[in-house]
Chains A and B, each alone.
Chain A
Amino acid sequence: MTGTILFLTVGSVFLVALFVLLRRSSSSERRIAGPTQAYEALNALQSELLPDWLVDRVFSDEDREFARGEEAPGILHLFDTERRSVALSWLRQTQDYVAQLMDFHVRFSRQRPDLRPSTEVKLTLEYLQFRFTCSLLATMIRIVGPVRVRTLAGRAADMATHLGGASEALLARYEDVVPMKVTQN
């Protein structure tokens, strides 16, 4: 009986999963046009979104303490609303740039015969972990506000920095390929 249920489940899940995968693979949008956009995404991440001071500033309670000290009515509430939207915007942009870099990564590495499966698997798991952390962070920002999730934001920023570093290494390899092709032409 267990075997029957197992195989009925395997068959049904397989049918659904295959159609979902094929449907999604046919509609997967290209997020990035080429290495130029990858460099832009990397620059934006490294110089605009991930510097420690910026992450500290967005998620610190320093400004909130200042707003609390002000006597104007409703200023704290206004501050919380604004800071929440800033934090969510930071998170969205960081996620978007990392997604663009990952898109470039898979499009470039899929054609490299020297690709190392273990590195790919590791990077994919790191990216999934990053996505999960970002989802969790977004929920937490909405529920408790950005000030109380400083540690989690730092973790997401560290992961994004690491993934950005991996893309930087990949882009460096891309450069090695490109001049060679130019001189060949």
Chain B
Amino acid sequence: MLTQTIWWITNALEAIIIGRAAQQKFIKTYPMFYVYLTYVLVESILRYYIYVRHPAYYGPFYWSTQLLSVFLGYGVVWEIYRQALSRYPGALRISRNALALIFVVVVFRVLLSLLWGGVSSLPQTTAELERDFRAVKAFLLLSIAGVMLYYRIQIGRNLRGMMVGYGFFIGTSIIILTLRSHFGDQFQIWWQYLQPAVYVFVLLAWCVTLWSYQPNPEPDVEPRIEQDYQSLVQATRQRFRQIRAHVGRTVRP
């Protein structure tokens, strides 16, 4: 009963977030994020249909669609990266290199551990794969946040909400999936409440922060003519000072 209530709440919240963005006409501003959210909503309804009509197929259907949503989640990370850094070509360049490196290293490590560990049952393998790929996302998100901090990049309420919500979802998922993978079916009872409860919290955060369009602040180093003039004056002073120092050194015995 409780799980079904949570299920209805998550669907309603997803529909509200998507509907609100469509109504306020900023759905196209964050396309990958809304594609992801729409997919999760459709997937959820399809799962319900399968669960009611073809319960025997529910397990395989759940795990296979779950993996697809994990990959679509990379779209959300990409959206955050693009939105946060697109107006900062220098920072974009730095983070592109860092993200590519992290992606290759972590995916390589994940694939290696997968090959090393072998393949067990579908739920077990998918849960481990999901956890590993979420760990990759965690590293990517952390790098983006690091670049933002280093380059003093300010973001708007929408993007901050996306980052906080998705970051919280990924972090808690890694922990929950690790526990699921370690304890197996014993953890199932907790799993079915914990994962959706976390997701409801994430959706509530998105609902609040994505209620209206709040763009990122404009970059603040736009040279103004007055400021430019002052900088030229300072540069000239600096050069005079250097010349004076140089002449002083040359003249002194």
Chain A residues packing against B (C-beta within 8 Å): 1, 3-4, 7-8, 10-12, 14-15, 17-19, 21-22, 24-26, 28, 30, 34-36, 39-40, 42-43, 46-47, 103, 106-113, 115, 117, 120, 124, 168, 171-172, 174-175, 177-179, 181-182, 185
Contact = CB atoms under 8 A, between A and B. Distances in A.
A8 B178 contact: yes
A110 B151 contact: yes
Contact of B231 (A17, A25, A103, A174): A174
Interface in B85-114: 87-91, 93-94, 97, 113
A39 B234 contact: yes
A25 B145 contact: yes
A26 B160 contact: yes
- A3, A42, A46, A179 — most chain B CB neighbours (10 Å): A3
Q: Is the interface of A mostly helix, strand, loop or mixed?
A: helix
Nearest to A18: B167
Nearest to B98: A117
B235 A171 contact: yes
28 contacts: A3-B113, A4-B181, A11-B178, A14-B139, A14-B141, A14-B174, A17-B145, A18-B163, A18-B171, A21-B142, A22-B167, A30-B152, A30-B220, A34-B227, A34-B230, A36-B233, A36-B234, A39-B235, A40-B234, A43-B238, A111-B219, A113-B89, A115-B90, A171-B231, A171-B235, A174-B231, A179-B232, A181-B223
Contacts of B122: none
A120 B92 CA distance: 13
A39 B228 contact: no
B148 interface: yes
A120 B160 CA distance: 26
Interface of B: 87-91, 93-94, 97, 113, 131, 135, 138-139, 141-142, 145-146, 148-155, 160, 163-164, 167-168, 170-175, 177-179, 181-182, 219-221, 223, 225, 227-228, 230-235, 237-238, 241
A18 B145 contact: yes
A185 B225 contact: yes
A21 to B, nearest CB: 4
- B91, B113, B155 — most chain A CB neighbours (10 Å): B91
Contacts of B168: 15
A41 B237 CA distance: 13
A21 B146 contact: yes
A122 to B, nearest CB: 12
Contact of A178 (B90, B148, B232): B232
A106 B231 CA distance: 17
B174 A7 contact: yes
A117 B94 contact: yes
